[in-house]
Amino acid sequence: MEISLIIRTPGTAPNQCERIHDFIQSAVDQGHEIKQCFFQGAGVSAAVNNQTLPRWRQLATLTGAELLLCSQAVEASALSVPEPFVIAGLGALVEAAVNADRLVSFV
| Contact present, 73 and 40 (Cβ < 8 Å) | yes
> Domains of the chain by range and CATH?
2-106 (3.40.1260.10)
Strand order in the sheet with 102-106: 85-88, 66-70, 33-39, 2-7, 102-106
* pLDDT number for residue 8: 95
Strands 33-39 and 85-88: unpaired
- The verdict on whether omega for the bond into residue 10 sits within 30 degrees of 0, i.e. cis, is no
Query: Is this prediction's pTM over 0.85?
Result: yes
| Backbone φ and ψ of 88, nearest 5° | -150, 160
The ranges of the chain with pLDDT < 70 are: none
* pLDDT number for residue 104: 97
* pLDDT number for residue 98: 93
- Nearest Cα residue to 68 out of 36, 29, 99: 36
* pLDDT number for residue 78: 86
* pLDDT number for residue 12: 73
Q: List residues with catalytic annotation.
A: 70
Which residues have a Cβ under 8 Å from the Cβ of 39 and sit 6 or more positions away?
7, 8, 46, 47, 67, 68, 69, 70, 73, 85
